[in-house]
Amino acid sequence: MSRRTRRVLPLLLTAVLALGLSGCGNDDAASDSDSSSGGGLDSVTIGGDFGKAPEITWDGQMEADEVTAKVISEGDGEEVAEGDAVLTNIWVGNGYTQEQAFSTYDEGGKPQIITVTPQGASEVFIKGLEGQKIGSRIAVAASAEVAFGPQGNPNIGVANKDTVLFVLDLMEKVPTEPEGKAQPAPSWAPKVEETDGDVTGLDMSSAPKPDGELKSAVLIEGTGPKVEKGQTITVNYLGQTYTGDKPFDESYTSSPASFAIGVGQVVPGWDKTLVGQRVGSRVILAIPPEEGYGKQGQPDAGISGTDTLYFVVDILGAS
């Protein structure tokens, strides 16, 4: 749970949501040409290693009347299909000014989760991800209008008549649920309520009063690698206070979130309990105020300075 905001991680997605992940462009304007065609991509050279910020050399202003995609380097991972969620590093450049507009590689930036559906991603991202292999670096060129909508994206310095270059590093697929062996819940834990496999709330009626201790327990023990300090983890989560009758935040009805763990980006209770857990696990946490929001609480979320926070966290990936 972020110290400064109500949401744990959706705020990390703010910049990408501004990039039009929900599909601002007009599908009719997109090209049906093969993804290997160059188009406006012929006016740029893309270097650097996969997983690191790309090195861009421009050869004049880029033109892109259509959405075109090109494989810069092909990975050897699983092919991305419609409906998959992909942890993706994103670099965006303005083809007119030949300047960087946005990058998840910048300090404080993190890979973003893109769901490959018309509802979850724009045509630009679908063309750049669907059918490609995990581990690949893909370049996509498009007009600002198709990429972002009629206004372009002034928040990142892209006018509506500019062209846009996207460089996408397909890091890993994100599972939709924990995978492992169920474990008995500890006596201090509230009951996890589920509907169709999604966590919907916590039933506190049989949970004892919090004792002020930081607690964690594994409800589903994953078989993946252990989470290490400084890694970016991908999770689904739900948070509720002991006295709350409903969650104050959750990701199950939207999409998983990703963030660095063990480095102070989230409340101390998360950093102290999630490092060392295995990928694929479901963990339940009890976080006293001093390991959460402290005496100030988080009034906007209905959290007081004396509230103990309970979380269910599904650890879906770590990189």
**Tens digits of residue pLDDT in 8-64:** 333 333 344 445 444 444 343 333 333 334 448 999 999 999 999 999 999 988 998
- The alpha carbon of 228 is separated from its chain's Cα centroid by a whole number of angstroms, namely 18
Predicted pLDDT of residue 107: 67
Q: Which residues contact 308 (CB under 8 A, 6 or more apart)?
A: 210, 212, 241, 242, 286, 287, 288, 289, 292
Q: Are 101 and 166 in contact (CB under 8 A)?
A: no
Provide the whole-model pTM: 0.67
Q: Which of 122, 146, 173 is the last residue of a domain?
A: 173
> Rg of the Cα trace of the chain?
21
* 255 domain residue, yes or no: yes
Concatenating the DSSP letter of every residue in 57-124 gives: EE-S----SS-EEEEEE---SPBP-TT-EEEEEEEEEETTTTEEEEETTSTT---EEEE-STTTS-HH
Type of residue numbered 141: A
Shared-domain flag, residues 82 and 167: yes
Q: Which of 155, 173, 191 is the last residue of a domain?
A: 173
Predicted pLDDT of residue 38: 43
CATH number, domain with residue 204: 3.10.50.40
Shared-domain flag, residues 25 and 154: yes
Q: Are 307 and 242 in contact (CB under 8 A)?
A: yes
Residue with tokens 């006293």: 288
- The alpha carbon of 146 is separated from its chain's Cα centroid by a whole number of angstroms, namely 23
Shared-domain flag, residues 196 and 165: no
Q: Give, as one character, the DSSP assignment of residue 298.
A: B
- As a whole number of angstroms, the distance between CA 296 and CA 104 comes to 31
Structural domain of residue 52, as residue ranges? Answer: 10-173
- As a whole number of angstroms, the distance between CA 267 and CA 50 comes to 31
Q: Is 290 helix (H, G, I), strand (E, B) or coil?
A: helix
Predicted pLDDT of residue 108: 61
First to last CA, the chain: 19
Shared-domain flag, residues 65 and 209: no
Q: Which of 107, 142, 173 is the last residue of a domain?
A: 173
Low-confidence ranges of the chain (pLDDT < 70): 1-39, 107-109, 120
Predicted pLDDT of residue 55: 97
Query: Using alpha carbons only, what angle is made at residue 211 by residues 209 and 217, rounded to the nearest 5 degrees?
Result: 90
Q: Are 192 and 259 in contact (CB under 8 A)?
A: no
Q: Are 288 and 308 in contact (CB under 8 A)?
A: yes
Instruction: Name the domain count of the chain.
Output: 2
Shared-domain flag, residues 144 and 259: no
Predicted pLDDT of residue 60: 86
What's the full length of the chain, in residues?
A: 319
